[in-house]
Amino acid sequence: MKKIFLFALLSLAFWGAQAQPGGGMFGNMPKIDVKFNEYVAAPADFDKEQTGIARGTIEETTYESKTVGTTRKVTVYLPPQYDKTKKYPVLYLLHGIGGDHKEWLQGVPGTIMDNLYAAGKAEPMIIVMPNGRALPDDRAGGDVYSQEKQKGFAIFERDLIDDLIPFIQSRYSTYTDQAHRAVAGLSMGGGQSLNFGLGNLDQFAYVGGFSSAPNTKAPEELIPNVEATKKQNKLLWMVCGSDDFLMMFSARLKAFCDEKDVPCTLVEYPGGKHDFVVWKYGLYNFAQLIFK
């Protein structure tokens, strides 16, 4: 009886911590003292549709995943005047724990990118928004925090590298080398981007983490070889809201990089929470820094 009571109590405590991200499991984490990079506000209209500018297109397509054993959906943004006779670099843009291949559309990536191109501020690129929950049932419903579903976010490393990237390179007109490939994401997808991007230096030159979640590996694991990271990674860029309960996962990596002299940016978004205000800002800035 006692055992059952203890189990119930522990389950409740665990559930409570997950359900109230502001207070629970990570609420008592030490605040990591770190030197943030300068926050520069985005122009007020960076995410507003403008009339009279060229627009990219957004389409949904599917690919065969040997990793998962299913046909998987993926959202793709093609830049204005996408031209099959040219080659484009590719940004893989990953969603959060409750999202899927459509979640990033809330962040109006097409509008943000169209505006950047109209202002001459970004290199034309293809943006690929996959479903990062690499499981036969990859829907976002149910208990998205369950261990089972979280496993899918780690398995996605193989789906991405072995299945999705080759598919994108065969279906679209892309460069296929490391220097023309970037990965970035929000929250759970931010953790994936840091894990996969820094864990596969031969695959990704540019890595971005926006409000990265607890799935982010420890800095020593992300950067086991300082010299290799310094040599192969061209950009390690992060943003997190000052009011985000997950700040420590970005801050501990920034602190490690500063100590080891690895170039790394962490912008603290003033008053920023765990939402698309910060993630849109992340895309707006990251997109301007890559493939240059």
Residues that bind ligand FER (CB under 6 A): 18, 21, 25, 96-97, 150, 187-188, 213-215
Pull the structure tokens for residue 258: 């500063």
CB of 99 to ligand FER, least distance (A): 7
CB of 97 to ligand FER, least distance (A): 3
Question: What is the C-alpha to C-alpha distance for residues 222 and 181, in angstroms, rounded to an integer?
Answer: 18
CB of 148 to ligand FER, least distance (A): 12
Query: What does the buried/exposed string (b/e) look like for 134-161 if buried means 16 or more CB atoms within 10 Å of the residue's CB?
Result: bbeebebeeeeeeeebbebbeebbbbbe
CB of 123 to ligand FER, least distance (A): 28
CB of 95 to ligand FER, least distance (A): 8
The answer to whether the beta carbons of residues 129 and 113 sit under 8 Å apart is no
Write down the residue that tokens 């690919």 correspond to.
Answer: 63
What letter would DSSP give residue 105? G
Question: What is the C-alpha to C-alpha distance for residues 117 and 127, in angstroms, rounded to an integer?
Answer: 14
DSSP readout, 123-164? ---EEEEE----SSS--S-S-TTSHHHHHHHHHHHHIIIIII
Question: What is the C-alpha to C-alpha distance for residues 19 and 15, in angstroms, rounded to an integer?
Answer: 6
What letter would DSSP give residue 288? H
Lay out the sheet containing 90-94: strands in order across. Answer: 57-65, 70-78, 126-130, 90-94, 181-186, 206-210, 235-241, 265-269
Q: Which is nearer to ligand FER, 140 or 226 (CB)?
A: 140
What letter would DSSP give residue 179? G
CB of 190 to ligand FER, least distance (A): 8
**CA angle, 286 then 288 then 289, to 5°:** 65
Q: Which is nearer to ligand FER, 168 or 213 (CB)?
A: 213
CB of 43 to ligand FER, least distance (A): 26
